[in-house]
Structure 1
C-alpha cells in the first residue's frame, strides 16, 4: 500500500505541471473503422496452452497515441518481480487473458514497466495504470503487444 501511495503522490506532483492524462478504454487502442478479430473466434482453444495462437498479429494500432500520457484500466499478467512487488507486466482488457485463455490481438495488450515496482494485491481485481504510452511492439513468451508503457502510477480501478 505504501508503494501505491508513493506512486500516486508522484503522479499528482508531476501531473500538476502538465495536462492531465487522457483516459482511454480498450476500444480507443483500435483504429476507427477497423473490424477487430476476437481471440475467441480466431484462436484455437484445443489442447495445452502452448498450442494457443494469438490472433491478428498485424492488428493495426493508433499512431496518434504515441508519447501520450494516458490512464487505462485492465488486468495484470505479471512478468517480472517477486511475491510483493511487480516491476513488469502485461495489461490486458479482461481477466485471464494470456493465462487461462489465448491472448487478445496485440493492439489489445500493453507491455508495462514501472520503476521501483508496485504491489498488486490480487490479479482478479481491475486496476488503472497511468503512464506514457508508446506505439511499439514487444514480444514475449505469452504474447506480442502493440503498445508499451512507462508507468508512473497504478491504482485500483474505480467506475
Structure 2
C-alpha cells in the first residue's frame, strides 16, 4: 500500500516538475575554458559610477584591444540548444511594436552594458524575441525571461549574440 501511494505521488508530481523550465545562470552559458578565462581576468577600473552620465552612442560591438580575448568569445554550451529555460538579466531595448512595447531586446548579465562598463562577450548576450511585448522603463531593472533557447549567432550594428531566446514570458525579476 505504501509503495502504491509513493508511486501515485511520483506519477502526479513528475509531470508538473518536468514542465518547469530549467533556471540557468549566466555562467552556465560559458564553456569551461571561457569560464576559467573569466576567473583569471583582472578587475576593471571604469573610473565612473552608476551616477555618471552614460554614453549611449557606444555599441556593444566596439572592440577594446586592452580586454582579453575571452571578452569577444562566441563559444557556446550547445547542450542548452532547444531547451526551455528561464534566466534573469538586464534588457538592452531594440524594437517596439505599435504600442511602444519592446518585442526585441538583448538580455545581458549586468546593468549598464555599453554605458559604463565593458560589454559582455557574445556568449553572454541573448537576443530575445517576445512578440507579446513588454514595457521597459528602466534598463537598470532586471527581468526574468522564459522560453526556448537557441544556440545561434546573431550580428547587428549594436552587438553580436551567441544565443537567441523565443520568449513565452517576461516579468520583473523578483529573486525567485
TM class, shorter-length: 0.7 to 0.9
Provide the aligned C-alpha RMSD in A.
Answer: 2.9
Task: Quote how far apart the aligned CAs of 1:90 are.
Answer: 0.3
Q: Relative contact order (C-alpha < 8 Å, sep 6+): which is higher? A: 1
- TM-score, normalising length: structure 2: 0.68
Q: Distance in 1 between matches of 2:105 and 2:25?
A: 18
Match of 2:87 in 1: 72
Between 1:59-68 and 1:79-88, the stretch displaced more is 79-88
Q: Which has the larger radius of gyration?
A: 2
Q: Do the aligned residues in 2 keep the contact of 1:29 with 1:61 (CA within 8 Å)?
A: yes
- TM-score, normalising length: structure 1: 0.75
Q: Runs of at least 4 residues of structure 1 off by over 4 A?
A: 37-41
Number of paired residues? 140
Match of 1:53 in 2: 63
Secondary structure of 2:152's counterpart equals coil
Q: Do the aligned residues in 1 keep the contact of 2:93 with 2:136 (CA within 8 Å)?
A: no
Q: Which one of 115, 135, 158 corresponds to residue 151 of structure 2? A: 135
Q: Which runs of 5+ in 1 are unaligned?
A: 1-14, 42-46
Task: Quote how far apart the aligned CAs of 1:98 are.
Answer: 2.8
Match of 1:20 in 2: 20
